[in-house]
Structure 1
Amino acid sequence: MKGYTGSLNPAITAQIDGHSGATLAGSIYAVAESDQMAAARHLAKERLWIHADVIVDDLTHRGVDLSLVRTLKDRRLGPLDVHLIAEELDGTLDEVCAAKVDRVTFPFESCADPAAVAEQIHRSGAEAWLAVAPQTSLTAVQHVLEAVDGVLVMLIKPGSSDTADPALLARVEQLAPVLPAGVDGGVDQTNLAACLRAGARYVVSGRALFSTTAPAVLPSEGV
């Protein structure tokens, strides 16, 4: 991870500004741990969402610490979306709900009863969004859609640094008429326009958003 430079990629922010109804979130997991607070402050100042990946029981990837999540909420920085990435939610969900964040995004693959998880999140006062990994079909999650406020389509395996799979944008197109759909994973200035055309209303970007060396988008690539 590179040090936080204090800037956001204008090739990304300009596309979002030019697309009515789309919301941008910055994934603070993409910057060094020592810079995550500064990045969150910047996002809040720009009135963008703060997306915090809380990764549980993964020795390879260190996510955003729950203590920072609590600090962000105490300092009223937000809106704040906590994305749980875990094999099992266990007590971590209880801790996140206790923090009273604005949105909790949870993985379909990690819970036996997603509707019950969504209900617990709603009781805490937060929105409940369902994250769907690339290997999970939309058919498998159909029975949960009525219980959640939105679906986050993962374009890469959660926690990885793979290249976004454009074929997965078909899921956004399917979901968009039903409820809000978002995208996460490898979103940058080269594929953002396609995400927006597919109907994404919530866009999570990390490394590309916080990069100041990313190339500008050509006019023909705009939305």
Structure 2
Amino acid sequence: MGAAPTRPLDPAHHFSFDSRRLRPSRRSARPGPVVKVKVAPWGRSLSGRGLAGSLFAAPAHERLDAAHALHAEGLAVHVDLIVRQDGTHRGVTPAQVRAVRSELPHASIDLHLIVEGDPRDSHTHAAIEEAIHMGLDLGVERISLSRELLDCYHSALQDARQRGLAVWCELPHDAPADPVAGADGLLIMLIRPGTTEAADPAGLTTVRALAGRVPVGVDGGVTETLARECADLGASPIISGRALLTTS
């Protein structure tokens, strides 16, 4: 299903949401899907402790199977929406997110919006607006984004918060360990967003400093060892991709 037409968004002004838009069709789940993507055994031991699998780590044609595999293990589904300057997506696409929700109506899903271009450009405006509307309409757990986007789209995001969508701020692990106004939680990035670098364990210092003061999660290159350490610190969500999902 394609995106429903939306009116242009001025990030500096208030706007309202129409909950009827982008309503997913509730197809019945596929009978006995053959899942090619598997969850690493260690992931099962962290079920119920905030672990989420990143669909971006799975090949595009296997992302729906990856979501099925995660949900079957009681794990959450994390979606990286990576928007280029021209408004197109190089990460998980909105259509893929809608397909996941359609087939898994009870899955826990969260969105991470990463904008590579100017967030005020008309093309990126449309993609950001779609992400916010989609988060509301599909009932995702939260949407995480940079401080720049949080500031630029403050009014729109506060509207979304009032409608029940949790808004989190993405925070580099070496940034000051302070709560961010207008954010419900902080997602500590152990790598640069949208990359496949190795995680910097020094980021756990920031997690320790914030734990208990504000909801805090971790993302980026999370291995089994890091995931267990983060779980012990009380971080949630704990987002892992390459170390958690394997293909066969």
Under a length normalisation based on structure 1, what TM-score does the superposition of the two structures give?
Answer: 0.79
Whose helix fraction is larger, Structure 1's or Structure 2's?
A: 1
| Other-structure match for 1:40 | 67
The answer to whether the 8 A contact 1:5-1:210 is kept is no
Mapping of residues 30-179 of structure 1, within 5 Å: 30-57=57-84, 62-75=90-103, 76=105, 78-87=107-116, 88=119, 90-99=125-134, 100=137, 101-102=139-140, 103-113=142-152, 115-134=154-173, 136-139=175-178, 142-144=179-181, 147-179=182-214
Q: How many residues end up aligned between the 2 structures?
A: 201
The answer to whether the 8 A contact 2:150-2:157 is kept is no
The answer to whether the 8 A contact 1:152-1:184 is kept is yes
The answer to whether the 8 A contact 1:55-1:85 is kept is yes
Residue 8 of structure 1 and its aligned partner are, at CA, apart by 0.8
Mapping of residues 142-221 of structure 1, within 5 Å: 142-144=179-181, 147-211=182-246
Aligned with 2:84: secondary structure? Answer: coil
Under a length normalisation based on structure 2, what TM-score does the superposition of the two structures give?
Answer: 0.71
Larger radius of gyration: 2
Q: Unmatched 5+ residue regions in structure 2?
A: 1-34
CA deviations on 1:141-167 (whole Å, 9 max, x unpaired) are x342xx322211000001111111111
CA 1:204/1:123 → structure 2, altered by over 3 Å: closer, same or farther? same
Residue 189 of structure 1 and its aligned partner are, at CA, apart by 1.3
Moved more, 81-90 or 180-189: 81-90
Aligned with 2:231: secondary structure? Answer: helix
In the alignment, the residues of structure 2 paired with residue 5 and residue 33 of structure 1 have an alpha-carbon distance, to the nearest angstrom, of 12
CA 1:143/1:81 → structure 2, altered by over 3 Å: closer, same or farther? closer
The answer to whether the 8 A contact 1:12-1:188 is kept is no
Q: Unmatched 5+ residue regions in structure 1?
A: 214-223
Residue 51 of structure 1 and its aligned partner are, at CA, apart by 0.5
